[in-house]
Amino acid sequence: MIRLHVLNFSLVKDALGKKNIIITMNNGVTVKQLLEKVRAMNKQKLDGLPIRVAVNQLYVNENYTLRNEDQVALIPPVSGG
C-alpha cells in the first residue's frame, strides 16, 4: 500500500470540505485511479469539474504512477490575474 498526501484547492477543496487529506491506495496506482476515487467521495459537486494533477509540484498526466508519500495536488481550472 502507498500513502498519498493530497492537497485540495479552490472548488475541489470546497467540494471535499478539506484542504489536506491522506489517501491510502494499492501499489502501482495511477493518477487516473486516484481521481476516480476522489470523484467518488463527492460525485455531485465534482461531477464535470476538470481537475489537473500535480505530483510534487509538477503537472503529470493521468497515466502517471504514484509513489509512497507523494504530494498530490488536485488543481481545478486556475483563475489568476
Instruction: Catalog residues that contact other proteins under the rule CB under 8 A.
Output: 7, 9-11, 14, 54, 57-59, 73, 75-81
Complex with other proteins: residue 27 or 62, whichever CB lies closer? 62
Least distance CB 2 / other proteins (angstroms): 21
Complex with other proteins: residue 48 or 81, whichever CB lies closer? 81
Complex with other proteins: residue 48 or 80, whichever CB lies closer? 80
Question: HEC states along 48-70?
Answer: CCCCEEEECCEEECCCCECCCCC
Give residue for cell 460525485: 43
CB-CB contact of 1 with 24 (8 Å): yes
Least distance CB 28 / other proteins (angstroms): 25
